[in-house]
Amino acid sequence: MDLKLTVDQSSMVPRNAHPYTISSDEWVEVNTMNPASPLLSPSLEPKDIRYLGEDDLRFHLEVVVRIFIKVYAIAKILQVAFMGYGTELDMTVGTGLMYWIACAQQKIRTRSLCLLIKWTENLYYACYARITFDIAAIELCAAFWSEDRAGLMHDGTFCLPEASHLYRILLACKDVLDSPELSANRDEALVTYFQQAYVRVLIDMQKHMGKFVANDILGFRRNARSVVSNPESSFSQKWSQIISGFSEIPAEVVTILAEKFFTVYAKDEPARDYEPFSFIKFDKNPKDIEEYEEYPKEWVESELIQRNRETARACLEGLTVGEFRRGEFNPAELVRYARLRACVCKDTCFCAQGCHSEPERSCPCAQRQLRTYHCIERKYIGRGTYQERIDAVALSGFQGLSGLKRENDDSIVALELSWAMEVIEVEVRRDRTIGPALEFMGL
């Protein structure tokens, strides 16, 4: 007699069989029902993971850390950009982008899987909601006027990218947030909730904005307000479909937000001159190596000969001298070149051709490159706080994106963003290695 055994196959599959992604129903419980509030007020809570074994926990922790770092890196680059242009730094508890960045930085070393998931979820949605608003404002700004600012400097200070290039940078950031690796299960209701929260912040801005003066020199305010206030304009129709509550934002507020992206030089940025980089002395700004008075004349002549030889070899290989050095030397040697203001930039950088044509000149990107390679080479371990170091590499990453040649296609912008995120990941993982013992069960 044959017995047939029927087995429920679904019961054999562990609930957490798939790696974590944003709002995966295997890992996250989203509660969108809150009768105590008239507004949509969802809560994001990680599901119970106590039944998982230690090996499974270690595996899944690494997956969550990887996704967290990607979201966090995008958030830090956006933070640097918003500080530079002087746009709204939203610290609203529970929904503000800066609020969740601050939460993540306070306990960046945590080994709590549940806590990391909670931070990743909230930081992702705060970041995603905010970036759509700024893309809209940048689009409005770029529609009126834009110029190529690549390489424009004043007293050694880089200018901010013009609106059209910043638009490409933020689109590349949004592409990362849209990638299936991060957000195969993105909850649009949560996006709407975070968007509506920021809409309320912008509406409140009008109370503190003062009198709106429409007649500016360029005529931007008058024309921009007419576009935003017209519900039939292509701009209003497009963004009203993308951003929940966009039509509720006063036209004057949207106009002021867009106007901020005309800013040329950063209004604020993370501090650069602190202990980890105190040994990077760029007090003087010589135009070329022959003006280095602190070095012996014989050394200067030898260095100049070496630079011309490297430039000649780069020409034979069809490369710029900076690209040649990146392929020829290890990071420790690249630190030396950057300290001497010799170019170590990719050929996609605005300075590449100028530094190649004049091997003796000082590379305008030297300080940025020096910060980056000191991070990679672990030159300042234990010096300065984590926030100081991560702010520095985020600033360098944004400056690298800003300095790309404008004729580069979008794939180059994406590659530069990926490089900036990798450097941020190096710093985050380095700090996490000195964190506490495993505490998987903590919330």
Asked if residue 16 is part of any domain, the answer here is no
Q: 358 and 305 share a domain?
A: yes
Asked if residue 396 is part of any domain, the answer here is yes
Q: 204 and 63 share a domain?
A: yes
Can you give the pLDDT at residue 441? 34
Q: 206 and 319 share a domain?
A: no
Last residue of a domain, one of 204, 227, 262: 262
Q: 366 and 412 share a domain?
A: yes
Q: 290 and 414 share a domain?
A: yes
Asked if residue 121 is part of any domain, the answer here is yes
Query: Which parts of the chain sit beneath pLDDT 50?
Result: 1-15, 33-40, 154, 273-286, 435-443
Q: Which amino acid type is present at position 283? A: D
Q: 248 and 350 share a domain?
A: no
Within 10 angstroms of residue 356's Cβ, the number of other Cβ atoms is 21
Domain count, the chain: 2
Q: 247 and 284 share a domain?
A: no
Cα–chain center distance at 349: 18
Q: 133 and 185 share a domain?
A: yes
β-bridge mates for residue 153, sequence order: 158
pLDDT tens track for 310-319: 999 999 999 9
Asked if residue 1 is part of any domain, the answer here is no
Asked if residue 12 is part of any domain, the answer here is no
Residue with tokens 């770029």: 142
Question: Do 187 and 23 touch, CB atoms closer than 8 A?
Answer: yes
Can you give the pLDDT at residue 208? 75
Q: 225 and 203 share a domain?
A: yes
Q: 305 and 365 share a domain?
A: yes
Asked if residue 15 is part of any domain, the answer here is no
Q: 332 and 200 share a domain?
A: no
Can you give the pLDDT at residue 382? 53
Segments forming the whole domain that contains residue 374 = 275-432
Q: What is the pTM of this model?
A: 0.86
Asked if residue 8 is part of any domain, the answer here is no
Can you give the pLDDT at residue 285? 47
Asked if residue 355 is part of any domain, the answer here is yes
Last residue of a domain, one of 237, 262, 287: 262
Q: 84 and 135 share a domain?
A: yes
Last residue of a domain, one of 262, 291, 319: 262
Report the distance separating Cα 99 and Cα 101, nearest Å: 6
Report the distance separating Cα 49 and Cα 64, nearest Å: 13
